[in-house]
Amino acid sequence: MKSLSSRGGTIEQVTAVVIGAGHMGLAASRCLNERSIDHVVLERGEIANSWRRERWDSLRLLTPNWLSRLPGYHYDGSDPDGYMTMREVIDFISRFAVLSSAPVRTHTTVTRVQRTDAGYDVATTNGNLRCRTIMIASGACNVPSVPALGKAVPPSIRCFTPFSYRNPNDLPEGGVLVVGASATGVQLADEIIRSGRPVTLSVGEHVRLPRTYRARDVLWWMDASGVWNQRYNDIDDLMRVRRLPSPQLIGTPERATLDLNALSSAGVEIVGRLSAVRDGRALFSGGLRNLFALADLKMNRLLGTFDEWARNHAREAEVGPAERFEPTRAPESSTLKLDLRNGEIRSIVWATGFRPDYSWLGLPVIDDKGHLRHDGGVVDAPGLYALGLPFLRRRKSTFISGAEDDARELVDHLADYLATPASRR
C-alpha cells in the first residue's frame, strides 16, 4: 500500500477494496490473497457482523454443517448433518478470517464511494482510500422491508422486524400477527406459538420444501443433483427467481420439516396475503388456495427433478424410497378481516423480507427498485463487483457454500480487468 503524500490529509492507495467482512467478503479476500492482489476488507462492525447483531436468538443455519465450506476451509466437527447456531457461525467465519490472514479493518464504515479517473475514492469513518476496484460484499439484507401499508397499523399494536425481534419474550402477551411465510416468517410463527401466544400467519407467495427427502437433507439433493449450482445465465426469468422468498426451512437437531401444515397443526391460523389495513382492520387476500396450489406444484416438480436425477445417475440405492407430501391443507374458509383495535392482536412481526442499502454508493448503478445493476456480479461500472446477492451467479449464491465459486470467478474477472490497459477496455 502506498500513500500519495505524508500522513494528514493523505489518501491511502490500495488496488482493491472489499466492503464487508462476512463470509462473502472474506472469501473474496482469500481469492485476492491467492493472486497477491493487495487489498483491504472494510467492516462497519466486527467480523461476521450481521450474524452477530442482526439475527434472532434461536436461528440456526438452513444448510447442514457438511455444506459449510469456504475457499480452502470447511466444517470438520463431529456433527456433519447438524445446523450451526449463530455462535458457531460467528466462530466458523472468524476462524476463516484468521486462517486466510484477511486484512480486515473493523469498525470502519464506508460512507461514500465515488468515481475517479483511475478507479474509486472510498470515504470511511476511519479515513479515506483510493482504489482501482471494489468488491461490494455488504449483503442483501441490510434493512428489513416493511410494506407501505404498515403505516396504517393502529399505534396500539407493537411492531417488530427480524432485526428488532430476538425471542418471544420481547413480545407483549396476547395475539401476534406474523406477516410473511419465508424461512423467517415460519420460524418465528413456530417459536411464538410455542411461547403460548396465539399466532396468525399471513401468507403470500412462498416456497415450500421438506427438510429431508428420501432420507437425505433436501440441500443434499439440491447440491448433488446440480440444482444448487444452476447458473444465472441458464435461467429464463432471472428477475423472478432473484425475488423469490427464502424456502420454508428450519435447522433443528430433529431435522424437522416446518411447512404450513406443520404450523396449522401447531395451532397457527393461516390467512392470505395482507393486502390492506383499513379503518384499523387488516384485510387479507382470499387467494390462499391458489398460493398453496402453486407452492405444492413447484415443490413436487422439484422433487420430480430429484427422482429423475437419482434414476439417471444410479443413486437410487443410497437414498430412501420416493415420497410425496400431503398437499397444503386449505382452511374451509380463511379469515379475510382482522380487527387490530379490539385487543386480540397485540403485536405484528413483519417478516416481509429485506433490502440492501446502497445509500453510500454515489454511482449511477442502482435501478428504480433500489437494486444494483449487474451481470452476474459484474456491476455496471468499471472495476466494480458485487457478491452475495440472490442468484448472483448461481442458485447457491447467497449461501456460505456459494461464496467460493462466485468469489473465484469475480476475482478472476477483476484480475483480468487490472491486467487490461485502460485503452483496451
- Binding segment (CB under 8 A) for another protein, from list 42-50, 54-62, 107-115, 283-291: 283-291
Q: If you ran DSSP here, which 8-state letter would residue 153 be given?
A: S
| Three-state DSSP class for residue 240 | helix
Distance, in Å, from the CA atom of 223 to the CA atom of 53, rounded to the nearest integer, reads 29
Q: How far apart are CA 343 and CA 273, in angstroms?
A: 21
CB atoms closer than 10 angstroms to residue 3: 11
**Residue 117 binds to another protein (criterion: CB under 8 A):** no
Whichever of 294 and 322 has its CB closer to another protein, that residue is 294
Regarding 285 and contact with another protein (CB under 8 A), the answer is yes
Position 245 contacts another protein (CB under 8 A): no
CB of 140 to another protein, least distance (A): 22
Q: How far is the CB of 239 from another protein (least distance, A)?
A: 9
Q: Considering only 10-18, 64-72, 282-290, 376-384, which stretch makes contact with another protein by CB under 8 A?
A: 282-290
Q: How remote is the C-alpha of 202 from its chain's centroid?
A: 21
**Minimum CB distance to another protein smaller for 277 or for 400:** 277
User: Is 286 one of the binding residues for another protein (CB under 8 A)?
Assistant: yes
- What lies within 8 Å, CB to CB, of 147 at 6+ separation is 179, 274, 350, 352
Q: Kindly give the pairing relationship between strand 143-144 and strand 39-42.
A: unpaired
Segment interacting with another protein, rule: CB under 8 A, options 106-114, 136-144, 157-165, 285-293:
285-293
User: Any contact of residue 233 with another protein (CB under 8 A)?
Assistant: no
**278 lies in the binding site for another protein (CB under 8 A):** yes
| Among positions 76, 117, 234, 236, the unique one binding another protein when judged by CB under 8 A | 236
C-beta closer to another protein: residue 79 or 367: 367
3-state secondary structure of 7: coil
5 or 333: CB nearest another protein: 333
**Which of 116, 167, 265, 290 forms a contact with another protein (CB under 8 A)?**
290
Helix, strand, or coil (residue 214): coil
Are 143 and 355 a contacting pair, CB within 8 Å? yes
Residues between 292 and 331 that touch another protein (CB under 8 A): 293-294, 297, 300-301
272 is a contact residue toward another protein (CB under 8 A): yes
* Nearest to 374, CA basis, from 334, 413, 403, 348: 413
For residue 248, give the DSSP letter. B
The CB density around residue 31, as the number of other CB atoms within 10 Å, is: 25
Binds another protein (CB under 8 A): choice among 5, 6, 333, 423: 333
- Grid coordinates representing 356? 440492501
Between 9 and 364, CB nearer to another protein: 364
d(CA 77, CA 84): 11
Nearer to another protein, 48 or 283 (CB): 283
- Residues with Cβ within 8 Å of residue 345, at least 6 apart in sequence: 157, 174, 175, 176, 177, 200, 282, 338, 339
Q: Decide: helix, strand or coil at residue 367.
A: coil
Could you say which of 45, 287, 362, 382 contacts another protein (CB under 8 A)?
Answer: 287
Cβ–Cβ under 8 Å, residues 60 and 51: no
The answer to whether 280 contacts another protein (rule: CB under 8 A) is no
Of 7-15, 52-60, 273-281, 395-403, which part binds another protein (CB under 8 A)? 273-281
Of the residues 167, 195, 276, 341, which one makes contact with another protein according to CB under 8 A: 276
**What residues make contact with another protein under the rule CB under 8 A?**
236, 272-273, 275-276, 278, 283, 285-287, 290, 293-294, 297, 300-301, 333
